[in-house]
Amino acid sequence: MKGLTSDDVVVTGLGTVSCLGAGVDAFWAGLRAADSRPEPPPGLAERVPGALSYRVADGVTETGRYGRATAFALHAARQAVADAALTAEEIADMAVVIGTAAGETAERETARDGAGAQAWAPVFRVASAVGGELGAFGSNISVSNACAASGYALTLAIDLVRRGEARTVLVGGADAVATVPLAAFGRLGASDPVRCRPFDADRGGTVFGEGAAMLVVRSAGAAAGRPVYGRLLGAALSCDAHHPTAPDPAGDQLVRVAREALREAGREPGDVDAVIPHGTGTRQNDAVEARVLGEVLGERLGDVPLFSLKAFIGHTAGSAAAFSTVCAALMARHGAMPANMTLERQDPDCRVWLPQTGPTPLTRTNVLLNAYAFGGNNFSLVFGGESR
């Protein structure tokens, strides 16, 4: 990439496991095909009647001694490291930062020790397991603040690189579908019985997905001479502290976090070429986010295309922001945004542009992406690709 400076944090490797398959090629092909549908989760449908999920196909990864979330993370991590062509020395020096909402809450029998007692294992061990398996001896950090977890992990990765504490960071998120979140969202009345359909007038809530998305991010110096997908230009965090589960209808902190990310990125609202919204499909989130984007983008709201990622892979909880960042990197690589899932009837109160025929060419790729979470945890990031 041309014009890199010493402060730039670049993306050199990607890896994904999702309902669309394993690997970024399968991920991108699935987004372009726009044909994924949720199904009742095997083994959980009886416990949570009516639940749907976008589930990773059996056999895509081997869990072995790990639960599904860690298995997904390991699979995606190995892809990202290979994609970045890291040497053994670079891997050994690499930091690992992974966000997860539920951690290792695998749906399997609890292991027992020789005396028949339940064997204890830490719930949030995804990052440590990945670092141990890869032989990475840099900083190892697990982040868990609900569905913004991998967004907060990305800010930590950016800081580690910019402060010179790491030249290379493996960062991302992983989560697996489990009984507790499915049941909880059902009790909240926040689950859609059809599919995840953000900004649709008839949306009934979100639908969970599972998987992992991983990125190798590096300092410009460490990445010299290597292919890059683009730059993590700026990221920001905020908390509205309005309600344990509901977003603040005023959206002030959501506006603030987007503007802070743009400020750190050195970009103006007029520089935004595309948005990957949080877009969960719940009635409150989509309505508030549409108004927030209107305030941030102003009169350009109807001219900036949105890509509603969760309509393809569901709400992947703590890994959602990492999936959005991988998506932004692939949009930059291909110079285009795939068509959105077809909406039967767009909510007239959500006056955003969701191109449903495509792909939509992107001559520049300054992508604004958002991730919001229970507890009022908010995250925005600006991804920058090379101008075309």
All structural domains of the chain with their residue ranges: 9-109+120-384
Spatial neighbors of 312 by CB under 8 A, at least 6 apart, are: 20, 30, 31, 34, 36, 341
Q: What is the pTM of this model?
A: 0.94
Going by pLDDT thresholds of 50, 70 and 90, the confidence category of residue 97 is very high
- Name the residue with higher pLDDT: 8 or 186: 8
Tens digits of residue pLDDT in 12-24: 999 999 999 999 9
Is the distance from CB of 68 to CB of 108 less than 8 angstroms?
Answer: no
Where do we find the tokens 């028949």? 116
Average pLDDT over residues 286-302: 96
Range of lowest pLDDT (117-131, 148-162, 200-214, 351-365): 117-131
| Range 9-109+120-384: architecture per CATH | 3-Layer(aba) Sandwich (3.40)
Q: What are phi and psi of 235, to 5 degrees?
A: -140, 155
Q: Is the pLDDT of residue 221 over 80?
A: yes
Which tokens hold the place of 380? 């925005």
The pLDDT score that the predictor gives to residue 327 is 98
Range of lowest pLDDT (74-88, 97-111, 192-206, 249-263): 97-111
Where do we find the tokens 């290792």? 104
Query: Angle 371-305-292 (CA atoms, 0-180°, nearest 5)?
Result: 45
| 367/261 Cα distance (integer angstroms) | 11
Percent of the chain's residues with pLDDT above 70:
94
Spatial neighbors of 352 by CB under 8 A, at least 6 apart, are: 199, 275, 277, 290, 293, 301, 302, 306
Query: Angle 68-72-74 (CA atoms, 0-180°, nearest 5)?
Result: 115
Q: What are phi and psi of 383, to 5 degrees?
A: -100, 135
The pLDDT score that the predictor gives to residue 227 is 94
Spatial neighbors of 184 by CB under 8 A, at least 6 apart, are: none
The pLDDT score that the predictor gives to residue 113 is 45
Range of lowest pLDDT (185-199, 299-313, 333-347): 185-199
Spatial neighbors of 49 by CB under 8 A, at least 6 apart, are: none
Mean pLDDT computed over every residue of the chain: 91
Going by pLDDT thresholds of 50, 70 and 90, the confidence category of residue 388 is low
| 289/351 Cα distance (integer angstroms) | 10
Which tokens hold the place of 102? 């539920």
| 315/334 Cα distance (integer angstroms) | 24
Is the distance from CB of 126 to CB of 348 less than 8 angstroms?
Answer: no
Average pLDDT over residues 225-254: 91
The pLDDT score that the predictor gives to residue 30 is 97
Range of lowest pLDDT (3-7, 85-89, 212-216, 269-273): 3-7
Average pLDDT over residues 254-271: 97
Average pLDDT over residues 204-217: 95
Percent of the chain's residues with pLDDT above 90:
75
Strand partners, 13: 216
| 306/297 Cα distance (integer angstroms) | 12
